Amino acid sequence: MSMKRRQFIKAAGLGAAGAAVAAPAIAQSAPEIKWRLTSSFPKSLDTIYGAAETFAKSVAEATDNKFQIQCFAAGEVVPALQALDAVQNNTVEMCHTCMYYYWGKDPTFAFGTAVPFGLNSRQLDAWFYYGGGNQLIDEFLKDYSVIGLPGGNTGTQMGGWFRKEIKSVKDLDGLKMRTGGIGGAVLAKFGVVSQGIPGPDIYPALEKGTIDAAEWVGPYDDEKLGFAKVAPYYHFPGWWEGGAALHFLINEKKMAELPKTYQSIVRTAAQAANKDCQAKYDAVNPGAIKRLVAAGTKLTPFPQDMMEACYKAANELYAELSAKNPKFKKMHDAYMAFRNDEYLWWQVAEYNFDNFMIRARTRG
């Protein structure tokens, strides 16, 4: 080899040493990684559990299958309500859950999912992405060593299935109801006895009269559990869940260890799952509500006096919690200020358009 050729190869980095350096650099930027995700939901809920599958599929496809996330249904790795704990203690790298399941640890968790008389799903996304919500939630979640990414929404939920019709706020007194969280705390002010019962156990409890009422999600998911056969009154709206959000909670250290490109893919995949979940609910609920009504379900709005009384009670509860929990107060004040502006806008175009179209539809 001539002197000039050796000098050229050395300058261009084309020698054996140069080739050896290049391969690991490429491999390092797109490593093969396997994560586990535990869901708080059963596979039968294709809407909610399906959001985790959408997320995992998006991550795999964007990385040419080098970053694979295996999804596990509730109970396969840990029980549904231990998903957050499993991420904290490194049993799994991440979970798909509702943050308000953990409101017993701190009521501030509820703002990640839904609070009584809160935001609807579109408004909640606006708060998360552009109203400082995601930053506030991540600041709060630092104490739990996880980060949160919105991962779906059910839209406004139904108020639940009742063996007897609720005609006045007085009918709540002594009612045994499957519900929980902050909504349950508001209802408790009117004598409702809240009971936390897993999905598969709700039907037999209603059938036997162990409980008088139960709220789950909405028409599509509720239809699968057969509540209409044992509790004919389907009340609405679920004012405690105007837009119930799901979250991907990810171990903070595990996320930081990912290459920047993978971190970006994770965030983008979460947004895809977030949008997909709400779109699916909006597509499947109309057919389900028609089938339920055709089978004898009595669609019944909650009485106005109950709505007004519960709204007042919710605000009283927020004041009580804010007085003793600075984290709750900080989140509450930011959330409610955003809500007020959102509904100021909503009453102009959105509400009037929807209201006209609903009336136009009923006129045929």
pLDDT of residue 5: 46
Residue 69 has pLDDT above 60, yes or no: yes
pLDDT > 70 in the chain, percent: 92
Q: What does the pLDDT average to over 151-165? A: 98
pLDDT at 28: 63
> Per-residue pLDDT for 254 more than 90?
yes
Q: What average pLDDT does range 133-139 have in this prediction?
A: 98
pLDDT of res. 321: 98
Q: What is the average pLDDT across 296-301?
A: 98
According to the model, what pLDDT value does residue 328 have?
A: 98
CA distance 187 to 190: 6
In angstroms and rounded to an integer, the radius of gyration of the C-alpha atoms of the chain is 25
**Average pLDDT of every residue of the chain:** 93
Give me the mean pLDDT over the 17-32 stretch.
59
Sheet holding 33-39, edge to edge: 67-72, 33-39, 94-97, 245-251, 146-153
Shortest CA distance to 144 belongs to which of 197, 97, 182?
97
C-alpha distances out from residue 334 to 18, 136, 142, 216, 337, Å? 54, 9, 18, 28, 5
Q: What strands lie across the sheet with 298-301, from one edge to the other?
A: 193-195, 176-178, 213-214, 160-162, 233-236, 298-301
Confidence label for 364 from pLDDT (cuts 50, 70 and 90): confident
CA-closest candidate to residue 142, choices 274, 251, 286, 260: 251
Tell whether the model's pLDDT for residue 4 goes beyond 60.
no
pLDDT in tens, 100-129: 999 999 999 999 999 999 999 999 999 999
Mean pLDDT within 259-271? 98
pLDDT digits (tens, 9 = 90+) for 311-329: 999 999 999 999 999 999 9
Question: Contact, 309 vs 169, CB < 8 A?
Answer: yes
pLDDT confidence of residue 238 = 98
Asked if residue 251 has pLDDT above 70, the reply is: yes
Confidence of residue 201 (pLDDT cuts 50, 70, 90): confident
Mean pLDDT calculated for residue range 267-280: 98
4 versus 138: the higher-pLDDT residue is 138
Residue 26's pLDDT is: 52
Average the pLDDT over 183-195 and give the result.
Answer: 96
What number is the average pLDDT over the span 60-81? 97
- What are the extents of the domains in the chain? 31-154+243-283
Residue bearing the bigger pLDDT, 14 or 317:
317
pLDDT of res. 13: 46
**pLDDT value of position 15:** 43
101-104 long-range contacts (CB < 8 A, ≥24 apart) are 101/40, 101/181, 103/181, 103/182
Instruction: Indicate the pLDDT class of residue 197, thresholds 50, 70 and 90.
Output: confident
> pLDDT category, 9, cuts 50, 70, 90?
very low
User: How far lies 302's CA from each of 154, 160, 172, 358, in Å?
Assistant: 20, 10, 11, 19
Whole-model pTM: value is 0.91
Q: Can you tell me which residue has the tokens 């002594």?
A: 174
In this model, does residue 298 exceed pLDDT 60? yes
Per-residue confidence (pLDDT) for residue 199, from 0 to 100:
78
Cα separation, 52 vs 151, in Å, equals 8
pLDDT band at 180 (very low <50, low <70, confident <90, very high): confident
Q: What pLDDT, on the 0 to 100 scale, is given for residue 198?
A: 77
* Predicted local distance difference test score (pLDDT) of residue 14: 46
What's the CATH superfamily of 31-154+243-283? Bacterial extracellular solute-binding protein, family 7 (3.40.190.170)
